[in-house]
Amino acid sequence: MGAPSLELRHLRYFVAVAEEKHFGRAAERLRISQPGLSQQIKVLERSLGTQLLLRDQRHVELTAAGESLLEHANRLLTLVDRAVESTRLATLGKTGVLDIGTPAPGIQPVADDVLETFRARFPGIEVILHPGLGPQNDDALRRGDLDLAFVAAPPGSGEASPGYLRLGSVEVMIVLPESHPLTANERIARTSLLREPFIALPSAADPLVVEHVHRSLFGEREHPDLVESPDAAEATRIRLVLHGKGLSATYFPPIAELQIPGVVFRRVEDPEPFVEHGLAWVDREPTEPVQAFIEVAREVASRERQEPR
């Protein structure tokens, strides 16, 4: 008996339903009719000889067979999409493409240096950046949608992983209105932070990093007046500080170095809180472009460590 015949469009339909967990939303995403989508999924299930989805009127769940197919379908569709993209780039004189995730709040200066150095050294490789929240980039790496990702991490947390290169660490700084009494201090006491309203980075942006920052600033205590910013943008939290909604924190040196009217930046008392940042990947045997990018990142990080501060 031969292998079942599969069409890519059926896999795309299945992935959309599996990710949305709803036929209506999947049909809207695919821009096809819901009855047509349901029929095509049945065709796929008949072709494979197994049920992939458990349906009721409100939601959709994957069977064990559906979970297995989803993992493989995502990988296959990624390969197909990349083959198409590589063909398009070849017509433009490009020899390859790298999809690189970046944290939604922004990337550190050393990451900018890595990108600039790589693009200058390998002009034939197209580098496409994909800003996203930490968990989104992690998932995209595992699915193969991203080749690499610049990530933030608690100090030392990525060192045991074979797919991680530490690029550096940055000090967490406190953002205050310039009229706030605490600006008279060169360093802010942690007890003072607990007495002030605090505007936090949304935990969904990167739960491990957000938890690490809060523990570094507040210890094991819960802040009594902590509010999450509506988004991950540094500018949003600074605007809220300007409007007197509370204090905040940043671990992006370019922000702290800017002369922003109405706000000032102060260090925290010892021990100083830090956030690490690095480059992550999944493949144990990276492709040549990925390996080249890692080597450039390693070179730039080494140069940064050697330069006097």
**pLDDT band per the 50, 70, 90 thresholds, residue 299:** very high
As for how many domains the chain has, the answer is 3
pLDDT tens digit sequence for 243-297: 999 999 998 876 767 778 899 999 999 999 999 999 999 877 788 889 999 999 9
CA distance readout (Å), 233 to 77, 121, 247:
32, 31, 15
Helix (H) or strand (E) holding 118: helix 109-121
Please check whether residue 81 lies inside any domain of the structure: no
Same-domain check for residues 187 and 265: yes
Same-domain check for residues 162 and 283: yes
Mean pLDDT value across residues 146-156: 88
Domain of 128, CATH number, reads 3.40.190.10
Report residue 293 as tokens: 């990018």
Same-domain check for residues 158 and 244: no
**pTM, two decimal places:** 0.68
Same-domain check for residues 153 and 205: no
Please check whether residue 1 lies inside any domain of the structure: no
Mean pLDDT value across residues 160-185: 89
Same-domain check for residues 189 and 266: yes
Please check whether residue 190 lies inside any domain of the structure: yes
Same-domain check for residues 160 and 208: no
pLDDT tens digit sequence for 20-65: 888 888 888 888 888 888 888 888 888 888 899 988 767 788 898 8
Please check whether residue 114 lies inside any domain of the structure: yes
- Residue 150 pLDDT exceeds 70: yes
pLDDT tens digit sequence for 90-114: 665 566 789 999 988 788 899 999 9
- Residue 1 pLDDT exceeds 70: no
Same-domain check for residues 121 and 260: no
Please check whether residue 14 lies inside any domain of the structure: yes
Please check whether residue 70 lies inside any domain of the structure: yes
Q: What CA–CA distance (Å, rounded) separates 270 from 278?
A: 24
Count CB atoms within 10 A of the CB of residue 227. Answer: 14
Same-domain check for residues 228 and 288: no
Same-domain check for residues 107 and 254: no
Residue where the block lists tokens 């910013």: 229
Range of the domain at 138: 94-168+276-306
Least confident interval from 1-5, 40-44, 67-71, 275-279: 1-5
Domain of 25, CATH number, reads 1.10.10.10
Q: What CA–CA distance (Å, rounded) separates 219 from 107?
A: 27
Residue that finishes a domain, picked among 74, 102, 124: 74
